[in-house]
């Protein structure tokens, strides 16, 4: 029989126990910061009707044209694994009647997303996003508050050296004039632009500004700038945003080339860049999408949001030597000699776990020597060897695995309290017990 050699799909990764604590750190910081800003968690399906993303993200974008994972069910319905989080959240808000609740609706999520891209550091085919969406406010104060939240998340994680770039891509009214100017400019380069950008020229020439081709991006450097085409309302909104960021002490640069990669954006767009993580330097991207709720069948409702790639946050955090929560190691390993002792260690392990300790005992049938080797391998802080005589005397010797020090603890109802004192002294030092006394 041939050996079965199945490996994980290209562009995916396994998150092993040695790495999970880092993920939990990042996710915990994101969740805590969002809740501090008044956001509540929302969870949406992993896959949605394909039309949702074609309508929201835009049929001229790389995401829709090249990157979506789409399947057809037996009933001929077409579904797509979500390539981003915003569209599903807005669909859920409309479908669940949340537009009738108090505004602004402030929602966050941590979710898996899927895009068929060329895998590289910080860019996978299955990736994870932390996102925040704010629905029901058109004020530039909301834009600034959302940017402040994003900056706060990066700071709390310990990511330093980031740069905030902002831009306005206007509303449909002023963008119509800008689109004409872009179409006129890029029409001179139809013999040079890539095939994808040729198709974008008629559908949405702003997408050409986001092309990764060196040739197209070189041509785009001299293209007209959106800021020169903003209507009075959009210009006022952008100026107000800048004044609020100035008042908050949040440093930024205006980058008129930021357009973001999704069609639903309007007015404010922004990115946080971290240059020390390589080619995929954008750790956060977001902006306004004032027309998306109405486009998806809801009432005319302004909205805005951002997303952060968890994988990129991890890369940046490691580069910045950020601190992660420690992996939980075993507090005490209870070794046993004989059947009666095994039953006693099982009972003690249950009591210790119920009191919040990480306790292990022999569930394999190892010899005493093998049990102690295992205790070393799992980095147990303490160990105890229990035999028939220990049960009879009602006393067990608890050993500090680092120092070799021994504490004699009674096997009565005081065991949990006494072990708690021993462990606390191990973590915080003997001064804790002196203060307690």
All domains of the chain in start order, with CATH: 17-171+231-319 (3.30.930.10), 332-428 (3.40.50.800)
Residue 434 has pLDDT above 50, yes or no: no
pLDDT of residue 435: 43
Which residues are bridge partners to 163 per DSSP? 273
Closest CA to 146 of 383, 306, 317: 306
pLDDT of residue 77: 82
pLDDT of residue 292: 94
The pLDDT-based confidence of 432 (bands split at 50, 70, 90) is very low
**Dist CA 361 CA 368 (whole Å):** 11
Q: What is the pLDDT of residues 96-125, one digit of tens each?
A: 999 999 999 999 999 999 999 888 877 899
Answer whether 33's CB lies under 8 Å from 284's CB.
no
pLDDT of residue 319: 92
User: Percent of the chain scored above 70 by pLDDT?
Assistant: 95
Look over the chain and give the mean of its residue pLDDT values, rounded to a whole number.
90
Residue 436 has pLDDT above 70, yes or no: no
48: its two tokens: 């949605």
Residue 61 has pLDDT above 80, yes or no: no
207-221, 244-258, 377-391: lowest mean pLDDT where?
Answer: 207-221
pLDDT of residue 121: 77
Answer whether 361's CB lies under 8 Å from 334's CB.
yes
- In terms of phi and psi (left: phi > 0; alpha: psi -120 to 50; beta: otherwise), the region of 59 is alpha
Q: What is the pLDDT of residues 156-184, one digit of tens each?
A: 999 999 999 999 999 989 988 998 999 99
Measured in Å, how far apart are the chain's first and last C-alpha atoms? 68
Q: What is the pLDDT of residues 337-391, one digit of tens each?
A: 999 999 999 999 999 999 999 999 999 999 999 999 999 999 999 999 999 999 9
Phi, psi at 389, each rounded to 5°: -65, -35
Q: In terms of pLDDT, which residue wins out, 275 or 375?
A: 375
Residue 3 has pLDDT above 80, yes or no: no
pLDDT of residue 433: 40
User: Percent of the chain scored above 90 by pLDDT?
Assistant: 71
pLDDT of residue 431: 45
Q: What is the DSSP letter of 96?
A: T
Q: What is the pLDDT of residues 7-55, one digit of tens each?
A: 999 999 999 998 999 999 999 999 999 999 999 999 999 999 999 998 8
Residue 231 has pLDDT above 50, yes or no: yes
Residue 394 has pLDDT above 80, yes or no: yes
Mean pLDDT of 330-335: 96
Cα→Cα distances 139→16, 203, 255, 424, Å:
43, 30, 21, 51
Q: pTM score, two decimals?
A: 0.88
Highest mean pLDDT among 114-118, 137-141, 259-263: 137-141
pLDDT of residue 262: 67
The pLDDT-based confidence of 57 (bands split at 50, 70, 90) is confident
Residue 227 has pLDDT above 80, yes or no: yes
The pLDDT-based confidence of 260 (bands split at 50, 70, 90) is confident
């Amino acid at each position: 029989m041939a050996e079965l050699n199945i490996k994980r799909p290209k562009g995916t990764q396994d998150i092993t126990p040695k790495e999970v604590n880092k993920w939990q750190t990042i996710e915990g910081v994101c969740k805590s910061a969002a809740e501090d800003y008044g956001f509540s968690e929302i969870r949406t399906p992993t896959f949605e009707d394909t039309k949702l993303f074609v309508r929201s993200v835009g049929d001229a974008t790389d995401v829709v044209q090249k990157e979506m994972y789409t399947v057809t069910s037996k009933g001929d319905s077409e579904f797509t694994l979500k390539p981003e989080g915003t569209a599903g959240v807005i669909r859920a808000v409309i479908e669940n009647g949340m537009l009738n609740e108090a505004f602004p609706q402030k929602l966050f999520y941590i979710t898996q997303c899927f895009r068929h891209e060329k895998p590289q550091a910080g860019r996978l085919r299955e990736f994870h996003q932390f996102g925040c969406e704010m629905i029901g406010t058109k004020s530039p104060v909301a834009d600034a508050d959302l940017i402040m939240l994003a900056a706060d998340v990066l700071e709390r994680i310990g990511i330093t050296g980031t740069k905030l770039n902002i831009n306005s891509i206007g509303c449909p009214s002023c963008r119509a004039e800008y689109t004409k100017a872009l179409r006129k400019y890029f029409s001179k380069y139809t013999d040079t632009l890539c095939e994808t950008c040729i198709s974008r020229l008629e559908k949405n020439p702003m997408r050409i500004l986001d092309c990764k081709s060196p040739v197209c991006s070189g041509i785009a450097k001299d293209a007209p700038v959106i800021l020169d085409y903003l209507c009075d309302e959009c210009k006022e909104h952008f100026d107000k945003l800048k004044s609020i960021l100035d008042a908050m002490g949040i440093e930024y640069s205006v980058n008129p080339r930021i357009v973001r990669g999704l069609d639903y954006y309007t007015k404010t767009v922004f990115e946080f860049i971290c240059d020390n993580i390589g080619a995929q330097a954008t750790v956060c991207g977001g902006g306004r999408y004032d027309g998306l709720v109405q486009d998806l069948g809801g009432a005319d409702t302004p909205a805005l949001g951002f997303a952060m790639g968890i994988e990129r946050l991890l890369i940046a955090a490691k580069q910045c030597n950020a601190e992660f929560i420690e992996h939980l190691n075993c507090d005490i390993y209870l070794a046993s000699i004989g059947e009666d002792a095994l039953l006693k260690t099982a009972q003690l392990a249950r009591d210790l776990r119920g009191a919040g300790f990480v306790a292990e005992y022999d569930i394999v049938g190892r010899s005493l020597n093998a049990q102690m080797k295992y205790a070393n391998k799992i980095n147990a802080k303490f160990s105890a060897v229990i035999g028939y005589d220990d049960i009879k005397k009602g006393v067990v010797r608890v050993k500090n695995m680092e120092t070799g020090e021994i504490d004699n603890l009674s096997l009565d109802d005081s065991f949990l309290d006494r072990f708690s004192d021993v462990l606390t002294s191990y973590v915080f030092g003997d001064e804790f017990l002196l203060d307690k006394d």
